[in-house]
Structure 1
Amino acid sequence: MTVHTLDTGLFKLDGGAMFGVVPKSLWQKLVPADVNNMCTWALRCLLIEEGNRLTLVDTGIGSKQDAKFRSHFYLHGKDTLENSLRTLGFTSADITDVFLTHLHFDHVGGAVERTPEDALRPAFVNAIYWSNQAHWDWAIHPNPREKASFLKENILPIQESGQLQFLEPGGAVPAALSVFQEIIPVNGHTEKMMLPVLPYKGRTLAFVADLIPSAAHVPLPYVMGYDMRPLVTMEEKAALLRRAAAENWVLVLEHDAQTECITVQDTEKGIRVAERFRLSEL
């Protein structure tokens, strides 16, 4: 098995929204903000080569949104999902499985593309797209607070294509996704977000998505204002971090613009970051 991180660009979000009740005097020491209080975040995906399967975990924002949408998030950087795949010698047609941790636009936007005729279609024509029924229903009937994150153009074309399959998070892992030893469901950020866990080079990797979007979010009170159930996020984060510290897991960070991977350790101040490194350094 070979696992790669894929950089798909950078975007900006309000620092206060990203750190919730934590005051700016604390979080800006970790993630500096610009004059508009916006901080830069990564759109990092995971690519897993194993046998005849090529599994992509999340897809970034993609490129089909209009200029007005893109301007809200200050999309920048030279990296795209397509270019990152091409650098590794792959194309979108090579992807066999697209595992979606959840359906917010910055995780699923690249799953659907716009054709020259202005139609929408799955960007990975030969892939199975994996979600779960509870989260899918949550996304297509969104609550008012999350509605702006669940965009129908990112979601419905996947189902209409016939390429969508559901799994049971926390249950048996489908054979097509046997690279994962476990899929952890979490409900604080959004309903039934899924975190894949897999063995790699004698270690355990966990792709922690929006449960721990950056290294700065390891301390328990550092919870995003975007989370639907912040107290649940804190409980879920504490449980995962305890396992990660005890078993020396490698946590792959989706949104940290500076750090790809961390390990954590228990300290007198609680669980904190122990090491920072690139996945390729394992």
Structure 2
Amino acid sequence: MDIQLIDTGFFHADGGAMFGTIPKTAWNRRYPSDDQNGCILAMRSMLVRDGSGKIVLVDNGAGDKHLKQLGYYNFFDLIDLREELQRRGVACEEVTDVILTHLHFDHCGYTTQKEERPDGKPSYRMTFPNATHWVSRAQWENFLHPNALEADSYFIENMQAACDSGKLRLIEGDTDLCPGIDLRLFDGHTPGQIAPYITTPERTYVFAGDVIPLAASVSPLWISAYDTCPVVSYNEKLRMLEEAAAEKQAIIYCHDAYTRCTTVKKVNDFFKADQKVSLFSMG
């Protein structure tokens, strides 16, 4: 099992939004910000090759289709994911599976690419045309009929081509994608977020998505204001963390610009990020 992390780019988010009710005097000791409370966040993707023919991509960043509409986030150092995968020996056409933790713009924007038609109207083609695209049914329904808090985070252009192609696979519960790759559902941040669990002989790696986006937000009480159901988020983080601490699993943080992956430690009723973990082939 070959696992690599890819930072598709970075953006700025308000620290008060990222840490919710936690005061800046507390969170700023764990995560840096500028004088306007802006925190740099990564858009992290994961490439997994299982050695048996599966080439799996987890999330793919914001892409470049909606940068003007999303100018508030001040994106920078965006990469061309097609070129980056080629550098790692993978053509987009070879990707067998794309797992989308959820459908907010910063996780699925590169799923499609814009191209101009002869009549001048925009169209969108799949970036990974041969891949099955895994999304939870709950998240898909929320994407199609979003609540007011999430509506601005969804763009139909990111996913319509995948749906039209018949390559969209909706799951309704925890699902085994293949031996060693399990998809588990977590609510709170958004309905039906997928957290892939990648099991190797050495340990299990958990791509936590926005269940635990930062090493600084490991504590179950540190809930982002972006989470639509904070009490649910608290309980779901506990569920993930209890197993991770007991089984010595490694948590991969999709948005942490400074810490990619750690184990977690439980001391009494308190959880914290513990030892940094290097993956087998970290990009």
TM-score, with normalisation over the residues of structure 2? 0.92
Give the structure 2 partner of residue 152 of structure 1: 156
CA contact (8 A) 1:113 1:123 kept: yes
Secondary structure of the equivalent of 1:115?
A: strand
Q: What is the Cα deviation at residue 87 of structure 1?
A: 2.2
Q: What is the Cα deviation at residue 165 of structure 1?
A: 1.5
Give the structure 1 partner of residue 81 of structure 2: 81
CA contact (8 A) 1:98 1:128 kept: yes
Q: What is the letter of the counterpart of residue 169 of structure 2? A: Q
1:145-184 correspondence runs (5 A): 145-170=149-174, 172-173=175-176, 177-184=177-184
Check 1:60–1:179 CA distance in 2 against 1; reply closer, same or farther (3 A cut).
farther
1:195-206 correspondence runs (5 A): 195-206=195-206
**92-101 or 15-24: which moved more?**
92-101
Give the structure 2 partner of residue 10 of structure 1: 10
Give the structure 2 partner of residue 216 of structure 1: 216
Give the structure 1 partner of residue 238 of structure 2: 238
Q: Does 1:57 align with 2:50?
A: no
**Separation (CA, whole Å) in 2 of partners of 1:188 and 1:15:** 19
Q: What is the Cα deviation at residue 55 of structure 1?
A: 0.7
Q: What is the letter of the counterpart of residue 89 of structure 2? A: G
CA contact (8 A) 1:9 1:80 kept: no
Give the structure 2 partner of residue 139 of structure 1: 143
Check 1:30–1:24 CA distance in 2 against 1; reply closer, same or farther (3 A cut).
same
Q: What is the letter of the counterpart of residue 150 of structure 1? A: Y
The Cα offsets for residues 25-66 of structure 1, whole Å up to 9 and x where unpaired, read as: 111112111132210011111111122121111111112224
**248-257 or 109-118: which moved more?**
109-118
Give the structure 1 partner of residue 132 of structure 2: 128
Q: What is the Cα deviation at residue 155 of structure 1?
A: 2.2
Secondary structure of the equivalent of 1:137?
A: helix
Give the structure 2 partner of residue 193 of structure 1: 193
**Separation (CA, whole Å) in 2 of partners of 1:206 and 1:94:** 24
CA contact (8 A) 2:180 2:200 kept: no
Check 1:239–1:53 CA distance in 2 against 1; reply closer, same or farther (3 A cut).
same
RMSD across aligned positions (CA): 1.7
CA contact (8 A) 1:131 1:164 kept: yes
The Cα offsets for residues 72-115 of structure 1, whole Å up to 9 and x where unpaired, read as: 21111254423331221122112111111111111111111111
CA contact (8 A) 1:121 1:161 kept: no
Q: What is the Cα deviation at residue 151 of structure 1?
A: 1.2
Check 1:54–1:181 CA distance in 2 against 1; reply closer, same or farther (3 A cut).
closer
CA contact (8 A) 1:179 1:198 kept: no
**Separation (CA, whole Å) in 2 of partners of 1:182 and 1:263:** 19
Q: What is the Cα deviation at residue 179 of structure 1?
A: 4.1
Q: What is the letter of the counterpart of residue 115 of structure 1? A: E
**Separation (CA, whole Å) in 1 of partners of 2:201 and 2:77:** 31
Secondary structure of the equivalent of 1:119?
A: strand
CA contact (8 A) 1:60 1:107 kept: yes
**Separation (CA, whole Å) in 2 of partners of 1:58 and 1:139:** 16
1:257-272 correspondence runs (5 A): 257-268=257-268, 270-272=270-272
* Percent identity (aligned): 34
CA contact (8 A) 1:259 1:277 kept: no
Secondary structure of the equivalent of 2:31?
A: coil
**Separation (CA, whole Å) in 2 of partners of 1:161 and 1:8:** 25
CA contact (8 A) 2:4 2:281 kept: no
**Separation (CA, whole Å) in 1 of partners of 2:183 and 2:82:** 26
Secondary structure of the equivalent of 2:197?
A: strand
TM-score, with normalisation over the residues of structure 1? 0.93
Q: What is the Cα deviation at residue 281 of structure 1?
A: 7.3
